[in-house]
Structure 1
Amino acid sequence: MSDFPAPDPGALGRFLDTTGAPGDGELPVLTVLSGGSQNVLYRIDRGGHPMVLRMPGPRADAARLDGLRREIRLVRALSGTDVPHAALIAADPDGTVLGQPFYVMAEIDGWSPMGDGWQPPFDTDLAARRELGFQLVAGAAMLGRVDWRGRGLQGFGRPEGFHERQVDRWLGFLAKYQVRELPGLHEAADWLRRNRPERYTPGIMHGDYQFANVMFGHGAPGRLAAIVDWEMTTVGDPLLDLAWALLGYEGEEPAADGFYLDMTGMPKRGELLAHYEKLSGLSTENIDYYLVLANWKLGIMLEKTYAASLRQGSAVDPQVAAAMGPMVPALMQTAARLAGTATGA
């Protein structure tokens, strides 16, 4: 049973009728897929046509409402591109239909590695699993090469001065919730300031691009079915998404342990960089900078979850909190170590 009040199926059905959505005239049946204070997902069955509704949770604040409107704008802009995503079916950014902004998207026939790890045959067939690494990197390349200006995303982000803002912006966020010393934090921050790119090619960046935020098609060969969870997407530097996708690596080799997936069989890092360059047309020569920034930034983001877990009455999953304890310092130390060994250190 769910504590979330289900949207009015009658109002939703009438709205969907006006948009030409599948199942014309049928009353939608809604089932909660996942829910939190920020966002709720419902599966819609309408005359045998499955769809998914995404809307803010009952305690979402104004920033979350604006965030969902940004998602609507982005997913609409991706329509017709080669970026794998759940296609937009209908949207109400004003919230006039259900009292909250929402959008309805196609249901993806696929699986997420965040369920129970690698699905067959990728759990045992290492050659098939290897292809998933190339597919992940291909998704980042496809997203980054979208003509964001031509798709009407002017003002969606602030690409001018993107790298100049990163360090001070994220240190400012961390100062609001930091609860412990994080060795390596300032060493990596100083290096990032000194080594930021002088120029870059702006593009759409997901902001949290990794195996946790994609879905794959069933069966071999590996196929990226959809990129999901667009909360952090902006127009910035797409190479940061590539670095995020490489967080499971130690140099050229996939991590032997300490990552949330078994990376055995994945391509070498150099192979993935070459694949990304071929598809994106961008140089990865300065990948060291992006790897330092990715580790450092992710550590700051996850420290917020760890800090929240320490509050009395916290709703953070205890297992998640336990994982964040050692993970954040490890990310900071990795960022500082990479900075110390990188070209230009």
Structure 2
Amino acid sequence: MTSTHIDVSAIDLDELDAWMDEQGLPPGPITGVTPVPGGTQNVMVRLERGGRPYILRRPPQHARRKSNEVLRREARVLAALHDTPVPAPTLVAAQTAREPVFYLMDPVDGFNPSTGLPEPHASDPAIRHRMGLEAAAALAELGRVDPEVLPGFGRPEGFLERQVPRWLKELDSYGELDGYPGPDIPGLSETAGWLTRNLPRAFVPGVMHGDYHFANLMFATDSPRVAAIVDWEMCTIGDPLVDLGWLLAMWPAGNDHVPGLPEPREIIAYYAALSERDLSAIDWYAVMACFKLGIVLEGTHARAFAGKAPRDIGDLLHATTLGLFERAQEFVHGALN
């Protein structure tokens, strides 16, 4: 998603206007250009032209090394999902031939629960409970998509076997940061060993979102239905049960944002009823999610030692990492059974 600190004047509206003409979109002046609040990785703005609203997504003005390639992938994913039942933003047109890469999509009529609940969701516990089940249902729908809609996307062969070495290597790389004393994470080696010993024997490759949790879901304003899964920049072809594990690992503790959500066991049972995938090793996927996310967050802690991130943020995320590894041990000891 995008930063709230966007200089919309950095967008060349004349160039955008000409490109929209080339795409055969309804003519007229571009108006109402306003930032869409969200994350920090890419720019997202709302605009109107010819009586039609759009969301424009493009790299930040000072693009990161992979910003343009990420948006190429996102546009390709949204195009591939267009004719599937998966709730995703509708791609209108994409400019991927030159940089900066950008694309237009239809606005989603929905809200993100991490920013608050509208009515009737706020006062109806049945709707809030159903929201959790709908999150599982949308994920099951994604897991049914034929990965051939994205030929050559990702490397499913050996996908699970690569995970533990990949993230341990990432953790080791933090040692290159000045001042970082190394990871002080109780249970790190035990968790890595358990994951290696209990690796699922096989999986059916499918389309993975890669970062599936409540902050990347938009819900319909008048029902518990998932209106759209957003932020597809981590999408790949791999094991879709990794997404389910990620959802479980990041399930709101104490249901802070959305009180009354189903318990994780109910989420698993609901997903299982909608999917033919083998969930007998679901604890492995939940542990793997805690392991990966904990290591990712530890990177900010390491950068804080090197003066490349605020120390208070680094400390906060380190505490989150410790909590994730504690949660991993709960999953190891049967919390989902």
When normalised by structure 2's length, the TM-score is 0.88
Q: 1:88 aligns with which of 86, 91, 94?
A: 91
Q: 1:292 aligns with which of 271, 284, 287?
A: 287
| Closer/same/farther in 2, CA of residues 154 and 27 from structure 1, 3 Å limit | same
| Closer/same/farther in 2, CA of residues 244 and 159 from structure 1, 3 Å limit | same
Q: Equivalent residue for 1:268?
A: 263
Secondary structure in structure 2 of the residue aligned to 1:183: coil
Q: Equivalent residue for 1:325?
A: 318
Secondary structure in structure 2 of the residue aligned to 1:16: helix
| Closer/same/farther in 2, CA of residues 304 and 286 from structure 1, 3 Å limit | same
Secondary structure in structure 2 of the residue aligned to 1:306: helix
1:121 is displaced (CA, Å) by: 2.7
What CA distance in whole angstroms lies between the structure 2 residues aligned with 1:321 and 1:170? 19
Q: Equivalent residue for 2:104?
A: 104
Letter in structure 2 aligned against 1:181: D
1:9 is displaced (CA, Å) by: 1.3
Residue deviations 1:51-89 (CA, integer Å, cap 9, x gap):
111111122233222111111111111111111111000
Q: 2:17 aligns with which of 13, 28, 41?
A: 13
When normalised by structure 1's length, the TM-score is 0.86
What CA distance in whole angstroms lies between the structure 1 residues aligned with 2:323 and 2:274? 32
| Closer/same/farther in 2, CA of residues 309 and 218 from structure 1, 3 Å limit | farther
Query: Identity rate of aligned residues, in percent?
Result: 42
Gaps of 5+ in 2: none
1:335 is displaced (CA, Å) by: 1.5
Contact kept? 2:305, 2:311, Cα under 8 Å: no
Contact kept? 2:74, 2:232, Cα under 8 Å: yes
Does residue 301 of the first structure (1) align with residue 300 of the second (2)? no
Does residue 167 of the first structure (1) align with residue 164 of the second (2)? yes
What CA distance in whole angstroms lies between the structure 2 residues aligned with 1:35 and 1:133? 22
Q: Equivalent residue for 2:248?
A: 246
| Closer/same/farther in 2, CA of residues 208 and 35 from structure 1, 3 Å limit | closer
Q: Equivalent residue for 1:335?
A: 328
Contact kept? 2:10, 2:61, Cα under 8 Å: no
Letter in structure 1 aligned against 2:111: W
CA RMSD of aligned residues (A): 2.4
Letter in structure 2 aligned against 1:235: I
Contact kept? 1:9, 1:30, Cα under 8 Å: no
Contact kept? 1:129, 1:265, Cα under 8 Å: yes
| Closer/same/farther in 2, CA of residues 81 and 269 from structure 1, 3 Å limit | same
Q: Equivalent residue for 1:141?
A: 140
Gaps of 5+ in 1: none
What CA distance in whole angstroms lies between the structure 1 residues aligned with 2:113 and 2:279? 26
What CA distance in whole angstroms lies between the structure 2 residues aligned with 1:206 and 1:309? 29
More helix by share: 2
Contact kept? 2:112, 2:217, Cα under 8 Å: yes
Residue deviations 1:94-116 (CA, integer Å, cap 9, x gap):
23xxx401111111111001213
Letter in structure 2 aligned against 1:176: S
1:213 is displaced (CA, Å) by: 0.5
Q: Equivalent residue for 1:122?
A: 121
| Closer/same/farther in 2, CA of residues 222 and 34 from structure 1, 3 Å limit | closer
Contact kept? 1:12, 1:28, Cα under 8 Å: no
| Closer/same/farther in 2, CA of residues 310 and 94 from structure 1, 3 Å limit | farther
| Closer/same/farther in 2, CA of residues 15 and 29 from structure 1, 3 Å limit | farther
1:160-199 mapped onto 2 (5 Å cutoff)? 160-177=157-174, 179=180, 180-199=183-202
1:200 is displaced (CA, Å) by: 0.5
